[in-house]
Amino acid sequence: MSHGVVAIGFDPGLAITGYGVVRMEAGKWEAIAGGVIRTKKDTPRAERLRMLHDEAQSLIETYRPIGMAIEEVFFATNVQSAIRTAEARGVLLMAAAGIPIRGYTPLQVKKRIAGYGKATKAQVQAMVQRLLSLAELPKPDDMADGLALAICYLHEERGVDPREHDYV
């Protein structure tokens, strides 16, 4: 009996990192877990990064995904924010040591999930809700992005377009 394939997605940030764990089995998508990892601003940066690493590593050990999807970092203006996000992304990559990793830009995620590269956050959330048959919109945005990233990984891994199926 098959248990499907599982992927984990991370939307990196030093203060808030969203994550989502998705299973695909027999062409059906299921959210196994989703949430956010928060670190406190008044905690030293090195400690915040260690906490993020440890939480991510625990999620990976718990759900044993075939791979990890992570949002690519790019910022046009705020250099300090870009540095903090890149550091968070780095510790997430370390936590995933030993499993395949794929990076996706926000544009790629929007195109793959909503079919349109300029989709709004609300449109992506609504499509994630639909694809995963969730009773409510996935919130916060960071968690919705983590789930969307995991869907992107499985879509690419298995060649199944989530938008080509009928959903209730």
Please give the positions annotated as active site. Answer: 11, 71, 142
Calpha distance 64→91 (Å, rounded): 18
> Is cis: bond before 140, omega within 30 of 0?
yes
Q: How far is CA 78 from the centre of its chain?
A: 23
Q: For residue 10, list its beta bridge partners.
A: 19, 70
**Residue where the block lists tokens 């809700």:** 129
Straight-line distance from the first to the last Cα atom of the chain, in angstroms, rounded to the nearest whole number: 25
Calpha distance 44→9 (Å, rounded): 26
Q: For residue 68, list its beta bridge partners.
A: 8, 101
Asked if 92 and 56 count as a contact pair (C-beta separation under 8 A), the reply is yes
Total residues belonging to the chain: 168
Tokens of 125: 């959330």
